[in-house]
Amino acid sequence: MGAILANVVTTEIVILLVCFFFLLIVGAQYQSVLALLFVMALVFPVAFYHHSWSLWLGFDFIVESLPKYDPSKKYNQ
């Protein structure tokens, strides 16, 4: 669930940045920017999925980490 959330949030941020860049700095037509953003909204999440998954796994590892090995505990008792 976290990887999907990271993917959605990143996609929305990228789309907003591209929209502001093309409308405010480049001065492109609104209709052409909407077409570009529509294509980005379809392609970017698919292309970024594996990266968002690895970011989520890294975040999960930092937060929870792995349990420490204790040689005094035996699992076959």
Give the pLDDT score at 3.
87
Residue 35, in any domain of the structure = yes
Give the pLDDT score at 66.
74
Range(s) of the domain holding residue 47: 2-64
Q: How many domains does the chain have?
A: 1
Question: Which residue from 1, 65, 11, 21 is spatially nearest to 42, judged by alpha carbons?
Answer: 11
Residue 30, in any domain of the structure = yes
Residue 14, in any domain of the structure = yes
- Distance between CA atoms of residues 6 and 9, nearest Å: 5
Whether the Cβ atoms of residue 40 and residue 18 lie closer than 8 Å to each other = yes
Instruction: Report whether pLDDT(35) > 90.
Output: yes
pTM recorded for the entire structure = 0.72
Residue 75, in any domain of the structure = no
Whether the Cβ atoms of residue 60 and residue 2 lie closer than 8 Å to each other = yes
Residue 17, in any domain of the structure = yes
Residue 11, in any domain of the structure = yes
Residue 7, in any domain of the structure = yes
Instruction: Report whether pLDDT(6) > 60.
Output: yes
